[in-house]
Amino acid sequence: MIARPKNEVWAQLILSERDSVRIREFFINECEIKAHRVVSNFHMTIYYARRLMPDVVAKVEAAQVVLPATETRFMVMAPGGENPRPELVPSKCKVGIRVHKQSSAMPAILNYRQRLLRCETRAVLGSRRPSTIRTNAFGARHFQPHVALLKPGSGIDRDLTKLGSLFRERIGNLTFDKFEIEVVIRQEEGIV
């Protein structure tokens, strides 16, 4: 057995500390969800690749993306989770918000995404089709900006519209103030 590297590139918009605190307090105080069931690092993944990419280095830079909560909808964080399905029980799954396609924040989100799309080369992609503004070469086929909020076991109601309405009413705008690119190299055990 020898170790084979598993390389990944993640690009994320990080929610401001102020808004992270507001969301945590909303779930804990208003919704009576246990603190350990609330996600601790609120972020929006805008790009993911299972390969290292030329000219992409780890970095953190200031950002200013404002997402009105009114332009989000709650969803179960599972394939097809934006639509209620009997087998997807929100209280037993990770739950988050997705960004409307027509959101006023979408142009800024897509500008950050575009920076990574330009770095996809044939060597990175192999036989995959290149990512576009709306599709991914790696991971989920369609790009849908989202933020995970609750861990499995939260105990929330099956009807996410009630929670979503309250969230949009109380939270207002969400500000993402950092853009982070993470380059991960892991060693996996494998047989060659």
Residue labelled with tokens 């190299």: 185
29 CB neighbour count, 10 Å cutoff? 9
For residues 174 and 168, give the distance between their C-alpha atoms in angstroms, rounded to a whole number.
Answer: 10
SS3 of 107, please?
helix
Predicted confidence at residue 90, as pLDDT, reads 85
The structural domains of the chain, ordered by start, are 2-190 (3.90.1140)
Q: pLDDT, tens digit, for every residue of 77-101?
A: 876 666 667 777 888 889 999 999 9
Mean pLDDT by 10 residues, the chain (192 residues): 69 98 97 96 94 91 98 86 72 93 97 94 90 89 93 92 95 97 76 44
Please answer whether residues 160 and 149 qualify as being in contact, where contact means their C-beta atoms are separated by less than 8 angstroms. Answer: no
User: What does pTM read for this prediction?
Assistant: 0.88
Predicted confidence at residue 192, as pLDDT, reads 43
Predicted confidence at residue 185, as pLDDT, reads 84
